[in-house]
């Protein structure tokens, strides 16, 4: 409540370039949506949090759903980029598993709570939201499966199933870890799950003697 009261007391923002204003509005919207959920959030709350008038907010986003979807797109893209970066960070497959697991744990720990919009949205009955959430999960799994398919003799559909399994385990365990109070340090938790994942995936024969 104190945070909302402080934000309501903020002076109106000076004129900003369009891109900067859009980013500011998305930041304010994230705070409100994470704190209140989609259904309880109001455009008035978001405008107040951003320190702008509601007409300024509507100049950038015609409605609450469009604003939510823009924010969801931003954070789905961020998750996929983090997974792809983890996979590209090394050619050592054991380290790839560790980097990917770490990417999910870092994503859920981000102080802005953006992962809640992706994995714990109260708007999953909205087709446009459901489609984005399902798509980012598939895209992350696809990125992992491509590495598996390249390095093993597994056919594409089996590699994809393993990719879905690895990403699903990473996402669920990272969320459980956060929700249970982070009783294990993040790096230790990610390492524990990496060990479990690697012991499974390492059982599939790799191409050639140079793969780890």
CATH of 17-62, one of 3.20.20.140, 1.10.10.60, 1.10.10.10, 1.20.1250.30: 1.10.10.60
pLDDT band for position 1 (cuts 50, 70, 90)? very low
152: phi then psi, degrees, rounded to nearest 5: -130, 180
Does residue 132 have a pLDDT over 90? yes
Alpha-carbon dihedral sign for residues 33, 36, 125, 162: positive
What mean pLDDT, rounded, does the chain reach?
A: 89
| Domain map (residue ranges) of the chain | 17-62, 69-201
Does 142 score more than 50 pLDDT?
A: yes
User: If you average pLDDT over residues 118-136, what whole number do you get?
Assistant: 95
Answer yes or no: are the C-beta atoms of 185 and 178 closer than 8 Å: no
* φ, ψ dihedrals at 51, nearest 5°: 75, 35
pLDDT at 212 over 60: no
Identify the pLDDT of residue 102: 97
**Whole-number Å distance between alpha carbons of 159 and 156:** 5
As beta bridge partners, residue 206 has: 152
CATH superfamily of 69-201: Tetracycline Repressor, domain 2 (1.10.357.10)
Alpha-carbon span 61 to 88, nearest angstrom: 35
Looking at 17-21, 55-59, 183-187, which range is the least confident one?
17-21
The string of DSSP letters for 83-152 reads HHHHHHT-S-HHHHHHHHHHHHHHHHH-TT-THHHHHS-TTTTSHHHHHHHHHHHHHHHHHHHHHHHHHB
CB 59 within 8 A of CB 65: no
């Amino acid at each position: 409540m104190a945070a909302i009261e402080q934000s309501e007391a903020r002076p109106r923002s000076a004129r900003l370039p369009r891109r900067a204003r859009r980013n500011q509005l998305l930041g304010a919207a994230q705070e409100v949506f994470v704190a209140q959920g989609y259904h309880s959030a109001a455009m008035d709350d978001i405008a107040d949090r951003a320190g702008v008038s509601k007409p300024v907010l509507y100049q950038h986003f015609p409605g609450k759903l469009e604003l939510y979807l823009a924010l969801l797109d931003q954070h789905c893209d961020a998750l996929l980029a983090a997974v792809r970066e983890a996979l590209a960070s090394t050619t050592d497959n054991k380290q790839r598993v560790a980097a990917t697991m770490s990417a999910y744990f870092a994503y859920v720990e981000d102080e802005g709570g953006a992962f809640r919009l992706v994995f714990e949205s109260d708007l999953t009955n909205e087709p446009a939201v459901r489609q984005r959430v399902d798509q980012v999960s598939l895209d992350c799994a696809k990125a992992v499966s491509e590495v598996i398919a390249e390095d093993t003799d597994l056919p594409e559909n089996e590699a994809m199933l393993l990719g879905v399994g690895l990403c699903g385990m990473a996402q669920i365990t990272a969320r459980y870890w956060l929700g249970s109070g982070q009783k294990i340090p993040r790096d230790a938790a990610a390492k524990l799950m990496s060990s479990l994942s690697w012991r499974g995936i390492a059982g599939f024969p790799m191409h050639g003697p140079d793969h780890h």
